[in-house]
Structure 1
Amino acid sequence: MPAESAPVGRRERNKQQKLERIVTAAAELFSERGVDEVTTQQIADAADIGTGTLFLYAKTKGELLLLVQNSHYADALERGRAASADARTPLDGVMALATPIIECNRVQVENGRTYLREMVFGDPTEPHHAAALAIVGETEQALAETLSRLASIPAAEASALARVVSSIMFLTMASSDAEVDIAQIVEGVRTQVSAILPR
């Protein structure tokens, strides 16, 4: 007989509700104004909590952005996995996987660039940063699986190639300013990736 999970206590429910309010408030403010134009006080006010409470969930504005964006990137990765399942060539498979991630990164350009900076230079011991790095790892794993399946590349080689493809994608997104549109970024990534894939 399976053990029933214990009901969640009031304290845990309150913590979860506060976290949801923080994420909702931060997401709305970051989307409207961009991360650089929003203060932690504004987020705390919108979430109806004190700034001290806010800092229990995220110590910096960068960590708040990671908290908000991680779920968007995870969703984009899942859309990419689904799209790559129908691909017939390694390049098409890689680009089907990469395109939703690129689109996610460009919803609000400065937020996307700040997210990438926080991912690379943030505190790796911080849980939201660790979650972002886990998404990068999942992206590389999905790329490796796609390359193995469509190009018959051995697993170790596919993993190394996936790391290179991931680096191309993230560096291209990070270095593209606001005037560069999604189609241009996708084409730039496609051109670079096609140069390194086996023929």
Structure 2
Amino acid sequence: MALASRPLGRRERNKQEKLDRITAAATELFAEHGVDEVTTQQIAEKADIGTGTLFLYARTKGELLLMVQNARYEAALKRGRADAAAAPNVLEAVLAVVRPIVECNRMQVENGRTYLREIVFGDPDEPHHGEAMSIVVETEEIIADVVRRDGRFGERGAPTVARLVSSVIFFSMSINVNAPLNAEEILEDIRRQLAVVLHP
């Protein structure tokens, strides 16, 4: 029997079940109150586990937020990639990739902004941080593929343009002056900046 096809043992099932409860509890509490207003004790109580057990899965509230948001951002990126295929030009295709990410970030503004801070300043050895960085890299790869449709940038220029796009997205979603803006306003800010480089 191949390793991949073996059923999970009781211990692994228990660990997965606890992780699912922690994720569900953190997701609900962060969405309802915002990450700054929720304690790890509240998450542990809602997940029906001890705080010591919680810290086996995530050592800080920031790591819990990464765990919750990573799944959402992965889904947003998948949707953006699909939407980009039907866009009429490179600028619109890049914006199609970006739109679900911005919408995800703005579902709860402070959670979204805290998530971005955790990506930049979080513990690089923490697995949820590694997952978040993988999403950033994947986003840039998808954008580079889109940019390659435009012959102006070439094979070597596309990743550089994708990194610039990534920086614009991050900056627009994280700066204090944009905190009150909704998803559409953030997208318009991003569009104005990207149009300088990706004008049709």
Identity of aligned residues (%): 58
- Contact 2:140 2:162 survives alignment (8 Å): yes
Equivalent residue, structure 2, for 1:143: 143
2:128 alignment partner, SS class: helix
Q: 1:150 deviation in Å?
A: 4.0
Alignment of structure 1 residues 85-100 onto 2, 5 Å: 85-100=85-100
Equivalent residue, structure 2, for 1:111: 111
Equivalent residue, structure 2, for 1:191: 192
- Contact 2:145 2:158 survives alignment (8 Å): yes
Equivalent residue, structure 2, for 1:19: 19
Distance in 1, matches of 2:2 and 2:30, equals 42
Normalising by the residue count of structure 2, what TM-score does the alignment of the two structures yield? 0.95
Equivalent residue, structure 2, for 1:74: 74
Q: 1:152 deviation in Å?
A: 5.7
Equivalent residue, structure 1, for 2:28: 28
Number of residue pairs the alignment of both structures matches = 198
5+ residue gaps, structure 1, are none
- Contact 2:106 2:112 survives alignment (8 Å): yes
Q: 1:177 deviation in Å?
A: 4.2
Q: Which amino acid aligns with 1:45?
A: E
Equivalent residue, structure 2, for 1:157: 157
Distance in 1, matches of 2:151 and 2:129, equals 32
Taking only aligned residues, the RMSD between alpha carbons, in angstroms, comes to 1.4
Distance in 2, matches of 1:179 and 1:149, equals 34
Q: Deviations over 1:88-114 (max 9, x none)?
A: 211101101101100000000000000
Distance in 2, matches of 1:168 and 1:8, equals 43
Distance in 2, matches of 1:151 and 1:180, equals 34
Normalising by the residue count of structure 1, what TM-score does the alignment of the two structures yield? 0.95
Q: 1:48 deviation in Å?
A: 0.3
Q: Which amino acid aligns with 1:92?
A: E
- Contact 1:23 1:67 survives alignment (8 Å): yes
1:149 alignment partner, SS class: coil
1:180 alignment partner, SS class: coil
- Contact 1:89 1:151 survives alignment (8 Å): no
Distance in 2, matches of 1:103 and 1:150, equals 26
Q: Which amino acid aligns with 1:96?
A: A
5+ residue gaps, structure 2, are none
Q: Deviations over 1:28-72 (max 9, x none)?
A: 000000000000000000000000000000000000000000000
Distance in 1, matches of 2:172 and 2:91, equals 17
Alignment of structure 1 residues 3-18 onto 2, 5 Å: 3=2, 5-18=5-18
1:44 alignment partner, SS class: helix
Q: Deviations over 1:121-159 (max 9, x none)?
A: 101111000100000000000000001024463222100
Distance in 2, matches of 1:191 and 1:35, equals 31
Distance in 1, matches of 2:161 and 2:179, equals 29
Q: Deviations over 1:1-50 (max 9, x none)?
A: x7372221000000000000000000000000000000000000000000
